Amino acid sequence: MPAATGQVAAAPAVSAAARPRHRGRGTVTSSAIDQLKAMILDGRLHPGDRLPPEADLAADLGLSRTSLREAVRALCFLRVLQTRQGDGTYVSSLGPAMLLDALSLVVDLQRDDTLLDVVAVRRVLEPEATALAAARRSPALLHDLRASCDRSVRCTTVAQLVDEDLHFHRRLADASGNPVLASLLDGLSAPTVRLRVWRGLSDGHNLDRTLVEHRTILEAVEAGDPERARAAAVLHVAGVESWLASAAGTAEAS
């Protein structure tokens, strides 16, 4: 029967695809982050630039001030932005060391059963950094590496050895001339600190082995022989990787 005059017709069905979707806070914040990144990538913001006032920037980007604040906080954590108390928010230098600083936190939070993967990455990167350092060796680098080896002989605790080991390898990475490579290796050092301590406590011969391996690397760098330096670094990191794999196998079997 036809609808009576004056009866309100049913609203047409709207497909699920046509319905407006609720944008969660995470989605809005991600969009805000992308827009701020785009401003840096297309040159509207440069390293060292101060961000426009919050109200103006939010209006320009079509964002709420809350979403903009969350995006700024996230980018500050990643060291893309820096907030100066009482002076506003600035774009950082965007240098590799600064941008990759959060990597050490991410890597440090890896579970023990993924440490082997982290060391495997280090085995790929560290020999190349050592080879580059050998090719670019300088009197200052050689002096620093020799001093590090001499200090290692006088180490009386595992903690001291770990600190000296980190200094030795960080110095080589810095001497590679590649700041991105050096920053990546520095970030990967976070879990290896725990690993070296663990290894040192359970293996009484670790000190002597580490000193010999460092001396071998030093001799290759002194000779200016990149291939020999690369091989020495591979053996050094592979020893750690082999020990970890063995320890993991023992733990699984127990």
- pLDDT reported for residue 252: 57
Query: Which range, 10-19, 56-65, 192-201, is most confident?
Result: 56-65
129-153 residue pLDDT tens: 999 999 999 999 999 999 999 999 9
Residue whose C-alpha is closest to residue 27's, from 78, 63, 51, 1: 63
All domains of the chain in start order, with CATH: 25-94 (1.10.10.10), 103-253 (1.20.120.530)
Torsion of CA 215, 218, 224, 229, to 10 degrees: 80
pTM of this structure: 0.72
Band of pLDDT at residue 249, cut at 50, 70 and 90: low
How many other CB atoms are there within 10 angstroms of residue 164's CB atom? 22
Can you read off the two tokens belonging to residue 167? 């200094």
Distance CA 175, CA 138 (A): 9
CA distance readout (Å), 25 to 21, 54, 177: 13, 18, 42
Q: In this structure, which amino acid lies at residue 22?
A: H
- Alpha helix segments (H runs only) across the chain: 25-41, 54-61, 65-77, 96-99, 103-108, 115-135, 139-153, 158-175, 179-202, 206-222, 226-253
